[in-house]
Amino acid sequence: MYAASPDFNDVLDAAARIAAHVHATPVLTSRALNAETGARLHFKAEHLQRIGAFKFRGACNAVFALDDATAARGVVTHSSGNHGAALALAARLRGIACHVVVPEGAVRAKLAAIAHAGALLHPCAPTIAAREAACARVQAETGATVVHPYADARVIAGQGTAALELLHTVPDLDAVVVPLGGGGLAAGTALAVRALAPACELFLAEPEGAADGARSFARGALDHDFVPDTVCDGLRGTLGAPNFALLRASGARVLTVDDARTVAALRLLWTRSKQLVEPSSAIALAAVLAHPALFSGRRVGIVLSGGNVDLDALPALFALAGDAA
């Protein structure tokens, strides 16, 4: 059904396929944050999506795109949290099994969400290699279909439906900013932006402690030689090959942000707009705050990607921000 790399028609197909299952999340505005940034901000509130993250869109599309015989064998993935919970819920809605390989040290709130959705958890070491190996082992043992967290055409197309909705709501945006980790949301957003708003600039907010995207863009080739060191647990994955190709073709730009600025933006969102998001989501606003020359006076769409915060960790997070908070 899908080619190796999706196109905008796949995003449209995904929107129709998942419409009965996902929330059409609101687009929020804040006068206080507009004043803070000098821009007119439009926040696509994917932290209010089912399972608390945009990830449900791609997982839902991947699960419901399977034919009945394939679906009956279940699905398997590896995830630090949000994708695992999203795939588990999508599988439960279709009535099939879901296996999730989870790295040691994942956020407890996210692991609880995966288990609550009914998935079987398979712990592994906290490395990409260990995650991939464990995922392959479970697939071989069960016959389940692997649904990669971000380098899957069905997932990318599903994630693109968030930007599709955003641009239908606010069609005259000058720029869109999304977080960059593995690149599922970013690549899906690129498909929607280029089709619906070709003059709109796409910016990718990436943690300085996991900046393989920035290095890859600078080199013109994927650079995965790094050990992630960031509080943005959802952005620690390496940039996928199909995602990188789509993003380079779209003319997207990467903006790296340090953790202190990201946590300060999280706190600002909470205090000024009463929206509690996770660090991996707040980084998009942090990028706007860190680069006023790029965004001042412009209409800017920001995808708030997720709200699954470990509440017990908030005091330590705010301490990390220091003076930046």
Residues 307 and 219 reside in one and the same domain: yes
- How high is the pLDDT of residue 322? 67
Domain boundary among 92, 116, 146: 146
Residues 180 and 244 reside in one and the same domain: yes
Residues 140 and 215 reside in one and the same domain: no
Residues 255 and 132 reside in one and the same domain: no
One-letter amino acid at 193 equals: V
- How high is the pLDDT of residue 79? 84
- How high is the pLDDT of residue 53? 94
Residue that is written with structure tokens 């301490």 in the block: 319
CATH classification of the domain holding 253: 3.40.50.1100
Q: What is the number of domains present in the chain?
A: 2
Residue 40 pLDDT > 60: yes
Residue 324 pLDDT > 50: no
Residues 255 and 160 reside in one and the same domain: yes
List pLDDT tens digits, range 280-301. 999 999 999 999 999 999 999 9
Asked, for residue 1, whether it belongs to a domain, the answer is no
- How high is the pLDDT of residue 3? 46
- How high is the pLDDT of residue 1? 38
Task: Give the residue-averaged pLDDT of 148-170.
Answer: 97
Domain boundary among 118, 146, 174: 146
Residues 66 and 108 reside in one and the same domain: yes
Cα 180 to Cα 280: distance, rounded to the nearest angstrom? 9
Confidence of residue 136 (pLDDT cuts 50, 70, 90): very high
List pLDDT tens digits, range 99-110. 999 888 877 777
Confidence of residue 2 (pLDDT cuts 50, 70, 90): very low
Residues 61 and 12 reside in one and the same domain: no
Angle between helical axes of 241-250 and 184-196 (0-180°, round to 10): 30
Residues 21 and 129 reside in one and the same domain: no
List pLDDT tens digits, range 204-226. 999 999 999 999 999 999 998 88
Of how many residues is the chain composed?
Answer: 325
Residue 325 pLDDT > 70: no
- How high is the pLDDT of residue 273? 95
- How high is the pLDDT of residue 303? 98
Domain boundary among 146, 175, 202: 146
Confidence of residue 112 (pLDDT cuts 50, 70, 90): confident
Cα 156 to Cα 188: distance, rounded to the nearest angstrom? 5
- Pairing of β 40-45 and β 75-78: unpaired
Cα 60 to Cα 16: distance, rounded to the nearest angstrom? 11
- Which alpha helices (DSSP H) does the chain contain, by range? 8-18, 31-37, 55-64, 68-71, 82-94, 108-116, 128-142, 153-169, 184-196, 212-219, 241-250, 259-268, 279-290, 292-295, 314-321
Angle between helical axes of 279-290 and 259-268 (0-180°, round to 10): 100
Residues 158 and 20 reside in one and the same domain: yes
Q: Give the largest CA-CA distance in the chain.
A: 56
Confidence of residue 55 (pLDDT cuts 50, 70, 90): very high
Residues 31 and 118 reside in one and the same domain: no
Global pTM? 0.93
- Residue 267 belongs to domain spanning: 8-54+153-324
Residues 189 and 66 reside in one and the same domain: no
Task: Give the residue-averaged pLDDT of 43-54.
Answer: 96
List pLDDT tens digits, range 238-267. 899 999 999 999 999 999 999 999 999 999
Asked, for residue 3, whether it belongs to a domain, the answer is no
Residue 321 pLDDT > 90: no
